[in-house]
Amino acid sequence: MTRRGIRLNIAMFSSPSSWFQNKKLLRIEPGGGEGECVAKNHAWVDSMRDSSPTRVKFPGTGEHNSWIIHHPSALKMFELITNAAKGKEIVIFLDYDGTLSPIVEDPDRAFMSNQMREAVEEAARYFTTAIISGRSRDKVYNFVKLPELYYAGSHGMDIRGPSKSQLKSKKGDEGVLFQPASEFLPMINEVYRALLNRTKSIPGAQVENNKFCLSVHYRNVDEKRWAALAEQVRSVLSEYPKLKLTQGRKVVEIRPIINWDKGEGYANDSNVLPIYIGDDRTDEDAFKVLRDRRQGLGILVSNVEKETCASYSLQDPPEVMSFLMRLVEWKRHTSRARHLF
């Protein structure tokens, strides 16, 4: 697959799409009276609560059985998945937090295990592999530390592929493929400083600069203070109509409002089978594209029942690692068999 083809793939699966164009997307409108602001804050808090459900493991109920029938384990359905891959080039897309690493209280300590790193490294030897995250590309690279991968940070607004210079050093821009929001950097940095100042009075709030987008983490904020946090974020973003707010698990994210290539042309490539593995609401963008185009497989990482467009499921990062290792072993076996004939 050409480098341009990979760029289109990553752009399509990491760009904002219709998932956020309804109630999942909160637009900040300047102005408004006190009553209107209170109503907006209530809506924000409700949305924050809806996007951060209590994570309870599956009960042994009939509802779970129904859910698992529609989203069976990718490990149990492995033969069916590899049958779909026959004669095609597999391209693997991986979320980071909650997929390759566990969800932790401190996002700066979301380290992947050495065993997971080895599994991803082995997968990349046989399949084109990309990490897609809302974090900055550099931060994800520092977690993963595998130069042979493609990295899409800031939800696909900062994409870098492997190159000879990158294999020697991650410094430099030779491998950068796609940065459609570069003009927003001064604005993002300005908003970052403002949010740091406005949220410092709220215990547990953490603002993360992901280069082309910002994350406000409220995992460690008392729920009674969520309304105060929403008000502070609203007061900052009301001055920036070119920014929008989306939500993930215990995090709100600020991104530029831009239109850019989502890789529509890629859907015509019947020789490629994309497999996208992710755990968060933002990954539903990719799952929906794969389902609607009937070209590729989405795998949700979750040990709770949730609405999803994914075809299959895995319970947690250890199961993701097992799935990647089985893909590698399958590829090795098929390659050996091919050489015998």
Radius of gyration of the chain (CA): 20
Q: What per-residue string of b and e applies to 132-162 under the rule 16 or more CB within 10 Å gives b?
A: bbbbbbbbbbebbebbebbbbbbbbbbbbbb
| Alpha carbon distance 13, 333 (integer Å) | 29
The amino acid at 267: A
The encoded tokens of residue 308 equal: 């999803």
- Give the DSSP letter string of 223-274: GGGHHHHHHHHHHHHTT-TTEEEEEETTEEEEEE-------GGGGG-TTEEE
**Helices within the chain (DSSP H only):** 3-14, 34-50, 62-70, 78-85, 114-126, 137-144, 164-168, 185-199, 226-237, 284-293, 317-340
**β-pairing verdict for 158-160 and 176-178:** antiparallel
- Options 46, 95, 158, 173, the catalytic residue: 95
SS3 at position 171: coil
Task: Name residues whose C-beta falls within 8 Å of residue 326's C-beta, 6 or more positions apart in sequence.
Answer: 75, 78
Q: Rounded to the nearest 10 degrees, how much is the dihedral formed by the CA atoms of 24, 29, 31, 36?
A: -20
Among 208, 101, 210, 108, which residue's Cα sits nearest to residue 152?
210
Does the annotation count 269 as an active-site position?
Answer: no
Catalytic site positions: 95
